[in-house]
Chains A and B, each alone.
Chain A
Amino acid sequence: MRLYFEVARRSFQRHLTYRVATLAGLFTNAVFGIFFSSVYRAFYQDGERGVVADFTLPEILTFVWIGQSLLMLVYLWNWWEVADSIRTGDVVSDLMKPMDFQLYWLSRDLGRASCHWLTRFVPTFAMGALLFDLAWPGTISTWLAFFISVNLAILVSFGWRFLLNLSAFWLLDVRGINTIAVLVLNFFSGLLVPIAFFPGWLRTVAEWLPFRAIVMVPVEVFLGQRTPQSALLIQAFWVVALRLLGQVVLNAAVRKLVVQGG
């Protein structure tokens, strides 16, 4: 266990040093947050809509800002560190070490996420709270449930990203997969539009996929639209399922391992 803690700690420290990337990221989050907030505000106010699919205007603005704050925390797109190590062959020395390969990468990701809690989530959310009128939870326990739910979202997201990365054992080039993954995630995580806004059949599809557990479920917990118990059930299910699936796929990959280069 000590190894994984030490790995996470170093990853945390490393990510703390990426100051320019952090500032650039915060700026982008702010731009998109303000843009989406303005669009939704116009949509609600000009149409004189009070409630759309269960969302009031402050609630939809909260949805927008949580989404922006979560983006980097759950690392929704473009995480290919494992795939890169497979492509370069560096994966060999990691697989040769007597450690749990998936746990090792999870530790790195949790170290990164702990950093992004501080450097990305908190500042982005604070920006949204200062600039717009958001909907706040009434109780401490909702805050707590939200905190837990976001951490579970990180685990679900990791499980998914890890699986995706393992495809590099079979495919020399993951760019194609990446394009599809970004599309699917933007949509089915509920980042762009709340899943409650989807037409009926599409909503059913979204509910059977793991992606809503990454963005939509924490938002629903924050807004009190979903009980903590139901959120926990959905997210814990996907954490376990993806971890097991990751293990199965990893074992298959190692069995037929073809490491690139000499």
Chain B
Amino acid sequence: MITARGLSKSYWVARHRRGALGAMRSLVDRSGREVRAVRDISFDVAAGEIVGYVGPNGAGKSTTIKMLTGILVPTAGEATVAGYVPWNQRKSLASKIGVVFGQRTQLWWDLPLIESLELLRFVYRVPVDRFQANLTEMRSLLDLDPFLETPVRQLSLGQRMRGDLAAAVLHEPPLLYLDEPTIGLDVVAKARVREFLARINRERGVTILLTTHDLADVEHLCRRMIIIDRGRLLYDGSVEALRQRHGSHRTLVVDLEAGATIDGFVRDGVELVRADGPRRWLRFDREAVSAASLISSVVARAPVVDVAIEEPAIEDIIRGIYEGGLRAEPAVSE
């Protein structure tokens, strides 16, 4: 469904100038700096897969998706999506893909949701009967009825997102790009979005490429994930393998009393990974060691002022891979 080879995108950020004169000067003087948003990324997505595309802020996720929709032309590299080269055949590709940018809407702000959906029927030339059938299904799957007649600008974020999801699938695209579809949603709304995505993937065989900052989205939906950071591909593989390698560890952070030390502390399944002043980071395997027993054995050894337990967050895993390859550092931010 998607083949990307060596995709790269650099932005040229021009120096900003103020006012009318500044605008004129920017036309002639093109000084600025280059931002390499995506660097040499290659991957394939097979039909029917749900792939999580994750990475910290500014990693290049949205940029990649924009290239794969054809809206951005890459600086280098190649891609085919549903048989098309996106940036050369944007219009032909458009009817094969559905897109949701969580931070924007493709609905018309001043029209009631239902009117937006009807306009999209004309945009994508969906036959009336197919449209009606899909609309009926979406109305029940996404529970659209309470706000079908509400202008989009008055919808809550969660309602708008459901409207956008319906809009993205009404023309029955075989491929769906979702850029942060759960951003800003509460737990219930998130669950509903996930359920909806799982369902159209299962029942309609829709291929999904999804970016998110919520690891739970990936855990619920994706068997495979791609991790990028600073434009580079760091990991492409199963979520399960990643979790086993990095996710089963937690970190105990202890602040020792001044002058105290736990150097030489040894216990199975526990590793002292970092020391900074009176603070120590102990990485432990949650299956082998319970937090309570670990704390008590540390306290038995040295006077402790404070303790905290840190779960491996998606960013930690990403950073862990980025910094230490497979030897996950429990990078703790201070």
Contact = CB atoms under 8 A, between A and B. Distances in A.
Contacts of A90: 104
Interface stretch (B22-30, B226-234, B283-291, B293-301): B22-30
Contact of A2 (B21, B73, B122): B122
A259 B99 CA distance: 16
B111 A96 contact: no
A262 B94 contact: no
Nearest to A7: B119
Nearest to A262: B62
B16 interface: yes
Contacts of B62: 262
Interface in B236-290: none
Contacts of B108: 10
A176 B101 contact: no
A14 interface: yes
Interface in A136-165: none
Interface stretch (A30-38, A50-58, A113-121, A167-175): A167-175
Interface stretch (A68-76, A231-239, A250-258): A250-258
B91 interface: yes
B90 A96 contact: yes
Number of chain B interface residues as a range:
35 or more
Contacts of A170: 27
Given A93-B101, A173-B23, A98 B124 contact: yes
B99 A96 contact: yes
Contacts of B69: 96
Contacts of A2: 122
A99 B123 contact: yes
B105 A93 contact: yes
Nearest to B23: A176
A97 B94 contact: yes
A38 to B, nearest CB: 34
Given A171-B26, A176-B19, A262-B62, A255 B73 contact: yes
A10 B123 contact: no
Contacts of A135: none
B103 interface: yes
Interface string B118-156: 111011100000000000000000000000000000000
Nearest to A167: B23
A257 B66 CA distance: 11
Nearest to B11: A258
A171 B23 contact: yes
A97 B123 contact: yes
A89 interface: yes
A174 B21 CA distance: 11
A240 interface: no
A126 interface: no
A259 B72 contact: yes
Contacts of A180: 20
Interface string B69-89: 111110000000000000000
Contact of A93 (B73, B92, B104, B122): B104
A10 B94 contact: no
A177 interface: yes
Contact of B119 (A10, A175, A255): A10
Given A93-B99, A262-B103, A98 B23 contact: no
Nearest to A173: B23
Contacts of B26: 171
A99 B91 CA distance: 8
A98 B84 CA distance: 14
Nearest to A178: B20
B111 A3 contact: no
A91 to B, nearest CB: 9
Contacts of B119: 3, 6-7, 10
Interface in A220-260: 254-259
Nearest to B120: A97
Contact of B95 (A92, A98, A179): A98
Given A97-B94, A176-B24, A257 B122 contact: no
A122 interface: no
A2 B128 CA distance: 13
Contacts of B27: 170-171
Nearest to B115: A10
Interface in A1-39: 2-3, 6-7, 10, 14
A176 B22 CA distance: 9
A71 to B, nearest CB: 24
A93 B115 contact: no
A90 B105 CA distance: 8
Contact of A95 (B11, B58, B90, B95): B90
B3 interface: no
Most buried by B among A96, A258, A259: A96
22 contacts: A2-B122, A3-B119, A7-B119, A93-B105, A95-B71, A96-B71, A96-B90, A97-B94, A97-B120, A97-B123, A98-B91, A98-B95, A99-B123, A172-B16, A174-B23, A175-B23, A176-B20, A176-B24, A180-B20, A255-B73, A257-B71, A262-B62
Given A173-B22, A176-B21, 20 more contacts: A10-B108, A10-B119, A92-B104, A93-B101, A95-B71, A96-B71, A96-B94, A96-B99, A96-B106, A97-B123, A98-B95, A172-B16, A173-B18, A175-B20, A176-B24, A179-B20, A257-B71, A259-B66, A259-B72, A261-B103
- Nearest 3 pairs between A and B by C-beta? A176-B20, A93-B106, A3-B122
